[in-house]
Amino acid sequence: MSGGHHEHHHDDHAHHPELGFWRKYVFSTDHKVIGIWYAVTALVFLMVGFSLMMLMRYQLAYPGREIFGWLMLPETYNSFGAMHGTIMVFLGVVPMVVGGFGNYVMPLQIGAPDMSFPKINMFSYWSYLCGGIVMLASFFVPGGAANSGWTSYTPLSVTATQGQTFWLLGMVFLITSSLLGSVNFIVTIIQLRAKGLEFFRLPFFVWTQFVTAFLLLLAFPPLEAAAVLQLMDRVAGTSFFMPEGLVVSGVPQTYTGGGSPLLWQHLFWFLAHPEVYVLILPGMGIVAEVIANNTRKPLWGYRAMVYSLIFLGFMSFIVWAHHMFMTGMGTKISAFFATTTMIISIPSVVILTALLISLYRGCIRFNVPMLFALAFLPMFAIGGLTGLPLGLPASDIHLHDTYYVIGHFHYVVAPGTIFAIFAGIYHWYPKVTGRMLNSALGKVHFFLSFIFINTVFMPMFFQGMAGVSRRLYDQTLYAHGEAVQGLTIMSSWGAWMLGLSQLPFILNFFMSLRAGKRIAANPWDATTLEWVAPSPPPHGNFATIPVVYRGPYEYSVPGVQTDFFPQHVGAEA
């Protein structure tokens, strides 16, 4: 699928020697090759994270039962849980939507030959891979992988086994990768836009990448600092997060003390809240592209969407302590965070509503990317709405740390972002490979995934309201947990069936590389610049950099012969 690199434009490459295999495909500085590496690596990590969860769900549905002679111990369950979250968020979704889609599509959509800093781009990928390997390696050290949740709350994480140190080191690699990447994205979008491509002519996908990059740039460093502090607590015996007089399993701890576990939570959530917007925004960008293209009309409310996006990015930095309502914070500060949290729901709703209204009187093509994009809308709505009782302290008292929270955030990320990722894969696979994915297999993939993903996560709201805690190895130990064990079994079977439902996709992905229908540059009759370049684009992307004359979604323009008017085509064709 990176075969396009054979098509070097020799007339332009006076002093550009032909690169060897390693420089061309492994240590490449081409944003497209790097994007593919990110996407493939992320898909592998997503599979690993998913597999951990499938094993966990067996323990949850049938507590104490062995899986082929292997019993999952509580410590193992905790490790799997912590690593499932960490892998999905930091090694799976973000590298996929930012490193994968962002790297590959964004420079093409702005008409650039590559990213501003190609070597730094390559370094970002290798830093990510190193971080991922360190994280996975932690499964094999004595004591196993990190087991203090993806949130690594202190003092539990400080006194935890060796795997936690690996987690912290892995995070340092991942954060470095992210910081370098975000500098690259911001500079590229500001500096390398094609002539005529003003900010308000940018595809919404590029806007989401732009705001996301700012979130990553400014929110990650506090977590890097906090990770260093926690490393020092674990390795150098400092007491940044350790109180005086702590006793763990009957053993009095020898820390000097005076530290604050809340300090960790503030620093962690300062990143982790913007992080969840990093998880969703590029997905919204993908959905916007697919919807505009498949309704054959411009996005409704593009400007409102952009302003909402910017406002959302800004607000995301001042809502973080809604994750900390139950830590004994005072009422005034809780009221502050509850207020900002309620306010931040407004731009989300604006974006979702604009996408919905964009469907009205559209000429909808129900192809596979569009099915996933359409499903995203109500799924994200459920995820967003169920966040409201969590963002209000009074109701959060009952729902915090229950399955309700798990249901809420999974709805946003799983049938939310992951569906957006699938939409993006089906939409841009032709650009990357020059071939279409099979539509029938795609529809099977979609319908099965849609049914089973809801089977997994819908019961969780009811479990949460019944009082079942999260991170619980065996809920049947409690009467209130035993009462709703049926829902757990339903979720587990949903998860295994969801896993099986991915087989048509995996089959399709590999089959179509060889046997998919070959296409030219623009199989979807789209307007944005990435469809101008050949499929796949050569090194340097465009023979001549396009000039832009209009906005990104000029579909069904009166007076134009075709139902789409690409951005780069001169005046009235």
> Footprint of other proteins on residues 236-255 (CB under 8 A)?
236-240, 243-247, 255
266 versus 296: smaller Cβ distance to other proteins? 266
For other proteins, which is the closer residue by CB, 12 or 563? 12
Among 3, 6, 7, 9, binds other proteins (CB under 8 A): 9
Q: Is the peptide bond preceding residue 536 cis, with omega within 30 degrees of 0?
A: yes
Percentages of the chain per state (helix, strand, coil), in multiples of 5: 65, 0, 30
Q: Which residues pair with 518 in a beta bridge?
A: 435
Among 50, 80, 270, 376, binds other proteins (CB under 8 A): 270
Q: Does 224 bind other proteins (CB under 8 A)?
A: yes
Min dist. Cβ of residue 458 to other proteins (A): 35
d(CA 475, CA 81): 15
DSSP characters for 226-252?
HHHHHHHHHHT---SS--TT-EETTEE
- Choices 82-90, 233-241, 490-498, 554-562 (CB under 8 A): range interacting with other proteins: 233-241
Q: Confirm or reject binding of residue 20 to other proteins (CB under 8 A).
A: no
Q: Which residues pair with 16 in a beta bridge?
A: none
CA 552 to chain centre: 24
Residue with tokens 């339903």: 490
Measured from the CB atom, the residue of 119 and 365 that comes closer to other proteins is 119
Interface with other proteins, residue 261, by CB under 8 A: yes
Is 547 a residue that touches other proteins (CB under 8 A)? no
Residue 102 and residue 186 in contact, taking contact as beta carbons nearer than 8 Å: no
Of 117 and 126, CB closest to other proteins: 117
Considering the rule CB under 8 A, would residue 396 count as an interface residue with other proteins?
no
Tell whether residue 263 is a contact of other proteins (CB under 8 A): yes
**Residue placing its CB nearer to other proteins in the complex, 202 or 484:** 202
Using rule CB under 8 A, residue 18 touches other proteins: no
Query: Of 145 and 271, which has the nearer Cβ to other proteins?
Result: 271
- How far apart CA 487 and CA 183 sit, in angstroms, is 45
Q: Which listed residue (149, 221, 301, 523) binds other proteins by CB under 8 A?
A: 221
- Measured in degrees and rounded to the nearest 5, phi and psi for residue 413 equal -90, -40
What are the residues whose beta carbons fall under 8 Å from the beta carbon of 140, sequence distance 6 or more?
Answer: none
Exactly one of 214, 404, 450, 531 binds other proteins (CB under 8 A); that residue is 214
Q: Does 156 bind other proteins (CB under 8 A)?
A: no
- 107, 113 Cβ separation under 8 angstroms: yes
Q: How many of the other CB atoms lie within 10 Å of CB of 125? A: 23
What are the beta bridge partners of residue 252?
A: 247
Burial of 248 (0-12, 13-18, 19+ CB in 10 A): exposed
End-to-end Cα distance, the chain = 33
Instruction: Give Cα separations from 416 to 38, 39, 301, 374, 381 (angstroms).
Output: 20, 18, 21, 10, 9
Nearest residue (CB) to other proteins, 10 versus 514: 10
108 to 137, contacts with other proteins by CB under 8 A?
A: 113-114, 116-118
Among 122, 179, 351, 444, binds other proteins (CB under 8 A): 179
Least separation in angstroms between residue 415's CB and other proteins is: 31
Asked whether position 220 contacts other proteins by CB under 8 A, the answer is yes
* Contact status: 228 vs other proteins (CB under 8 A): yes
Q: Which is nearer to other proteins, 232 or 519 (CB)?
A: 232
Judged by CB under 8 A, the residue of 343, 346, 520, 543 near other proteins is 543
Site residues (CB under 8 A) for other proteins, limited to 439-478: none
Which residues from 325-344 bind other proteins, rule CB under 8 A? 328-333, 336
Query: Which 295-314 positions form the footprint of other proteins (CB under 8 A)?
Result: 314
Q: Are 400 and 326 in contact (CB under 8 A)?
A: yes
The token pair at 200 is 């308000």
Of 189 and 352, which CB lies nearer to other proteins in the complex structure?
A: 189
Amino acid at 198: E
Residue 260 touches other proteins, criterion: CB under 8 A: yes
Count the site residues for other proteins by CB under 8 A.
Answer: 72
Query: Is residue 393 within 8 Å of residue 326, measured between CB atoms?
Result: no
Among 121, 138, 184, 535, binds other proteins (CB under 8 A): 184
Binding residue for other proteins, selected from 1, 137, 156, 183, defined by CB under 8 A: 183
Applying CB under 8 A, does 266 fall inside the site for other proteins?
yes
How far apart, in whole angstroms, are the C-alpha atoms of residue 231 and residue 440? 50
**Which one among 218, 356, 364, 466 touches other proteins, defined by CB under 8 A?**
218
In the chain, count of helices (H) and strands (E)?
A: 20, 2
Residues 6+ apart with CB under 8 A from 88: 45, 46, 49, 50, 413
